A and B are shown apart, each in its own frame.
Chain A
């Protein structure tokens, strides 16, 4: 009964307040989420082509209906423990302006609405490296969900990649 009440309460909060609609996924044991407006689609993990001289967390490139998009391993990017890729592993395709990129996650959980009042600043204890990439921590039915600032994750990743890419005398690219 208590759980029912809390759900009703939760829904009422959604009605009353602004909320954030997110898609949540698992990375290792933790639950993360990104804003649904950033996510374009979720696809199966297959057919990744490795690209040489790329940073470790760039898994490779895939063909998304004719468009070649890079795929980033979010677990490696956030320096989390890397579980083996399995049947639940997915690629979340995100859109940043005109650019599109794939993110490897351990599994996709659900799409949910989190009231803004339930989103707190990230606690100081995790405000280290991962903390930079967080918008906040959402609380839904006693579950804690880490809200990722995907733009920061990717742009910081690109920066790292650029510094890596300063290889000896690069050659002309078509």
Chain B
């Protein structure tokens, strides 16, 4: 029918189809027809073809044939047909004739015949229910794992990694479905994830996981075909199946680890998947919802031609909706007929659609070690580049051309550097998506009604940071839901909407990534906090503290225990751990709160762990790097502001203290500490740089500030461990090694010298 209506014009989808079918594997040698890997390939090709054909009225027959074929192949893989060889031969016959037909420009009649033939020879099974999937009385085993070689181990490990990624996508999708974001792409995506997991699990002999995926996939298929509506039960089933799959994968991992360690091969522990399959059956056997015309969400949905045209302002949403309603023919054609757009515009939108779909995917996995080696090399290149560039010989008239070429090369190396840095950067999306589930579960558990709003999940940050930020985020979000947001009734009384909002925001600010967790709950209780701080000896009674100073106390070790625990943190682990983790990543944490309005936690993280923003200071003939984040200000001190205090210890050195607008800041003379000759002995001749860490301050006496620079952090090696005042090394712009000053260490040192100053808070 499609061929006829198009008036002999070769339909685009046939070309796409032919392209996808081109990789249809060739017939195996006789005797090897049962080879599962070839069937797996066929399934992949069919899947790709299904994608390529696209959704439209005139492809429906082809698509149902592909659906049926794919399902058939899957069953062949699982040995569900007794006469497998005949089935395999049929698959190859059909595949080859379809490919031939597609290359000639398509033949609908053939497709119809194939479908009829398939249904006649191998009738479609009834949808498999829990009973047919696992009819034994006892729960089926997860499957058998046999690791014959290192290669097998790698295959299993890769399967686990891939499946975990799929599960994350599915989880995000399920949560989006729950919030009402029902669109076909989302369900298709989840379907695909389950489908690939199912295939791989079947191939690896993981029967349980395969069956589970198969069951849930069936449910998703119905959602996709709109014979089933998304509701809470469906989402619950999806989430439960994700949890169960994770459990299955975890036990597989355990088994693998024990096999690696010389354990015995054999069956995996039994995990009962039947409850979920029964639940799926129940949902499916409900009265099917009346198929409804899909309401296309066209708002800026640029993956579809209609959306592109609307976004470009060439058709209105209303026109598009009408066209979609009447969509019996290709959408573009209808719009042209309506006089809304010209054919050229439709054509260009179609090209864009193709481009968008092509942009997806296309990534490769690279060993992080290799990536790090590359980064190191690039770092070296940049340094040696800058050495060439600063060579005095370049400045002479003779070398003008050379200088130009070098300048050109500098540009390229700079690009190369930022590009390679970008390779270690990954978006926060995955981490953030995991939080959706956490917030949902915590809210359910605590009886709160909470909506999590995520923005800026595309913000990229160093891979190491992403891996380590999850725990602090979990803690902070749990706090926000558990202790920030009030119960719905309480909120109503306070004149707030019943539903609390927790925002999780990420954005880039200068060289930092900022992550903010904000809730609209009751806020921190200043009085309670202060009372607690005084009882803990952290604050002095009768002293005036600003709000921020009081809120700082929640980060003090051991603060969030006992009775305050119920107000600030739910568990024994305190905010001090959160702060320590963030500090270890080179970041800092701040808290703001307004009573009754809510609190916000702000985490500032460096873009990358490999580079630090540093201020170069000179002491004697040496230069040191001070992390810019910890610098408060630099002061040219006046003699009258410096006081000498005794250390209060026998034989202890006396200590200089600088008065900064009323606050007393202990001074450390870096030249003296590092025994550098030629350094300025008197603070008045040099500069004082005030640094702070966790609210404590000290002043460093240096000769001069040389300017700001990004330096590449280097390990000094075990020989240089335990240096006082030095936290590590780095390579500076001129290729020399610089020493990075250890801010917490120096402040600690200043505090130690002057017990009286210990409590000198900022």
Interface residues of chain A, those whose CB is within 8 Å of chain B, are 47, 49-54, 60-63, 65-70, 99, 158, 161, 165, 167-174
Contact check, B722 vs A68: say whether CB atoms are below 8 A apart.
no
Contact check, B722 vs A173: say whether CB atoms are below 8 A apart.
yes
B739 close to chain A: CB less than 8 A: yes
B724 close to chain A: CB less than 8 A: yes
The residues of B that contact A60 with a CB separation of less than 8 Å are: 737
Most chain A CB inside 10 Å of its own CB: which residue of B383, B622, B727, B737: B737
Contact A66-B376, Cβ < 8 Å, known A51-B720, A173-B721, A173-B722: yes
B668-727 contacts to A (CB < 8 Å): 673-676, 713-717, 719-727
B618 close to chain A: CB less than 8 A: no
The residues of B that contact A63 with a CB separation of less than 8 Å are: 383, 714, 731, 735-737
Chain B, residue nearest A100 (CB): B717
Contact check, A51 vs B723: say whether CB atoms are below 8 A apart.
yes
Contact check, B736 vs A47: say whether CB atoms are below 8 A apart.
yes
B633-658 contacts to A (CB < 8 Å): none
CA gap between A66 and B724 in the complex, in Å:
24
Contact check, A61 vs B745: say whether CB atoms are below 8 A apart.
no
Contact A65-B380, Cβ < 8 Å, known A52-B675, A171-B745: yes
Contact A161-B719, Cβ < 8 Å, known A51-B739, A52-B726, A66-B731: yes
Contact check, A68 vs B744: say whether CB atoms are below 8 A apart.
no
Shortest C-beta distance, B416 to chain A (Å), equals: 15
Contact check, B717 vs A171: say whether CB atoms are below 8 A apart.
no
Chain A, residue nearest B747 (CB): A171
Shortest C-beta distance, A129 to chain B (Å), equals: 22
Contact check, B749 vs A171: say whether CB atoms are below 8 A apart.
yes
Query: Which one of B376, B713, B723, B748 lies within 8 Å of A53 (CB-CB)?
Result: B723
The residues of B that contact A52 with a CB separation of less than 8 Å are: 673-676, 723-726
B106 close to chain A: CB less than 8 A: no
The residues of A that contact B622 with a CB separation of less than 8 Å are: 49-50
The residues of B that contact A99 with a CB separation of less than 8 Å are: 717
16 inter-chain pairs at a CB distance below 8 angstroms, sorted by A residue, are A49-B737, A49-B738, A51-B720, A52-B673, A52-B674, A52-B676, A66-B377, A66-B380, A66-B731, A68-B717, A171-B749, A173-B721, A173-B727, A174-B727, A174-B728, A174-B742
Contact check, A171 vs B748: say whether CB atoms are below 8 A apart.
yes
The residues of A that contact B165 with a CB separation of less than 8 Å are: none
CA gap between A83 and B715 in the complex, in Å:
32
Shortest C-beta distance, B582 to chain A (Å), equals: 15
The residues of A that contact B720 with a CB separation of less than 8 Å are: 51, 54, 61, 70
Total number of residue pairs linking A and B with CB closer than 8 Å: 98
CA gap between A98 and B70 in the complex, in Å:
54
The residues of B that contact A69 with a CB separation of less than 8 Å are: 717
Shortest 5 CB-CB contacts between residues of A and residues of B:
A171-B745, A52-B674, A170-B722, A49-B737, A66-B380
CA gap between A63 and B734 in the complex, in Å:
10
The residues of B that contact A158 with a CB separation of less than 8 Å are: 719
CA gap between A54 and B376 in the complex, in Å:
27
The residues of A that contact B721 with a CB separation of less than 8 Å are: 165, 173
Shortest C-beta distance, A100 to chain B (Å), equals: 9
Contact check, B742 vs A171: say whether CB atoms are below 8 A apart.
yes
Contact A47-B674, Cβ < 8 Å, known A167-B722, A173-B728, A174-B728: no
Contact check, B737 vs A61: say whether CB atoms are below 8 A apart.
yes
The residues of A that contact B674 with a CB separation of less than 8 Å are: 52-53
CA gap between A47 and B737 in the complex, in Å:
8
B587 close to chain A: CB less than 8 A: no
CA gap between A70 and B720 in the complex, in Å:
9
The residues of A that contact B723 with a CB separation of less than 8 Å are: 51-53, 165, 170, 173
CA gap between A2 and B379 in the complex, in Å:
56
Shortest C-beta distance, A84 to chain B (Å), equals: 17
Contact check, A173 vs B742: say whether CB atoms are below 8 A apart.
yes
CA gap between A165 and B726 in the complex, in Å:
13
Contact check, B745 vs A172: say whether CB atoms are below 8 A apart.
yes
B548 close to chain A: CB less than 8 A: no
The residues of A that contact B744 with a CB separation of less than 8 Å are: 171-172
Contact check, B745 vs A68: say whether CB atoms are below 8 A apart.
no
The residues of B that contact A174 with a CB separation of less than 8 Å are: 713, 727-728, 740, 742
The residues of A that contact B734 with a CB separation of less than 8 Å are: 47
CA gap between A53 and B380 in the complex, in Å:
28
Contact check, A62 vs B727: say whether CB atoms are below 8 A apart.
no
Contact check, B714 vs A171: say whether CB atoms are below 8 A apart.
no
Query: Which one of B716, B725, B752 lies within 8 Å of A68 (CB-CB)?
Result: B716
The residues of B that contact A49 with a CB separation of less than 8 Å are: 622, 729, 736-739
Query: Which one of B377, B675, B729, B735 lies within 8 Å of A61 (CB-CB)?
Result: B729
Contact A68-B724, Cβ < 8 Å, known A51-B739, A169-B752: no
Contact check, A167 vs B724: say whether CB atoms are below 8 A apart.
yes
* Apart from the given pairs A49-B622, A68-B715, 10 other A-B contacts in the complex at a CB distance below 8 Å: A63-B735, A66-B377, A69-B717, A165-B723, A167-B722, A171-B749, A173-B742, A174-B727, A174-B728, A174-B742
Contact check, A47 vs B735: say whether CB atoms are below 8 A apart.
yes
